[in-house]
Structure 1
Amino acid sequence: MARILIAEDEDTLRNLVVRALTQDGHDVVEAADGAAALDILGRQRGQFDLLLTDIRMPLMDGIALALSAARDYPDLVILLMTAYADQRERAHGLESLIHDVITKPFTLAEIKVAVQEALDSRNKA
């Protein structure tokens, strides 16, 4: 299965998504904010198949994280999450760098499908 890095500042949601994706057989690493995720990416030399990140987080938001990750690890598939329309608008124009933006709230089935679609896009590239 895939190696996935999740950056989400909301503990409950992060834990839920980590558990769901782990049950699907993925190797999941978690970070509570963008700065921590960027640190993990650097220490692991970008050895992830997917970055799943919230847009709105403290220290470093998901847009800044996505821009840095895409620059340093161009083969990394990036999937953004947000509950805010204005944050979704901020992601507009990043289509060449990100796979998609998922709107919160979502069901576990929806996030699993979105993750699988993002991973499948990597295999087609």
Structure 2
Amino acid sequence: MTRVLIADDEDSMRSLVARAIAMDGHETVTAQDGAEALEVLTRDEGAFDLLLTDIQMPVMDGIALALTAARDFPALKILLMTGFAHQRERASGLEAIVHDVVTKPFSVADIRTAVADALAARKSA
């Protein structure tokens, strides 16, 4: 079973994404910001297949989380989410460590497809 760590400061978005991904049989773990997600990654020694993180969050944003996670756990696939165009621009240039940026709002089908694509890319890498 694949493990997905979801980091988003919005409770409703975190639970929607977790439920959507669980529909495909993935185990989900959630965190409310980047710092908590990094604690989970460190505690579990990076034992996740995918990190799905919002870009704009308090404490530690998704880009700082992605940079740290990619450095410490290079096999981890990373997907970013954002509802803000300027945040999407911040993610440009991170193609080497980020599989894709999913634009909010998205449908359940959109996020499930994005996760499946990222996981398929991880397996073929």
Q: Match for 1:93: what amino acid?
A: G
Report the counterpart of residue 39 of structure 1 in structure 2.
39
Q: Distance in 2 between matches of 1:95 and 1:30?
A: 24
Shift of 1:20: 1.4
Aligned residues: 125
Tell me the equivalent position of 1:101.
101
1:21 and 1:116 map into 2 onto residues whose CA distance is 9
Cα displacement (A) at 1:2? 1.2
Moved beyond 4 Å, runs of 4+: none
Q: Which residue of 2 aligns with 1:90?
A: 90
Normalization by structure 1: what TM-score? 0.99
Correspondence 1:1-125 to 2 at 5 A:
1-125=1-125
Instruction: Kindly report the root-mean-square deviation, in angstroms, between the aligned alpha carbons of the 2 structures.
Output: 0.5
Between the aligned partners of 1:23 and 1:90, the Cα distance in structure 2 is 31
User: Deviations for 1:45-71, whole angstroms, at most 9, x for unmatched residues?
Assistant: 000000000000000000000000000
Hey, what's the Cα distance between the residues in 2 that align with 1:61 and 1:83? 14
Amino acid at match of 2:49: D
Cα distance in 1 for partners of 2:21, 2:78 equals: 16
Q: Please, which runs of 5 or more residues in structure 2 have no aligned partner?
A: none
Q: CA deviation at 1:106?
A: 0.1
Q: Distance in 1 between matches of 2:92 and 2:28?
A: 27
Amino acid paired to 1:104: K
Query: What's the % identity of the aligned pairs?
Result: 63
**Please, what TM-score do these two structures have when normalized by structure 2?**
0.99
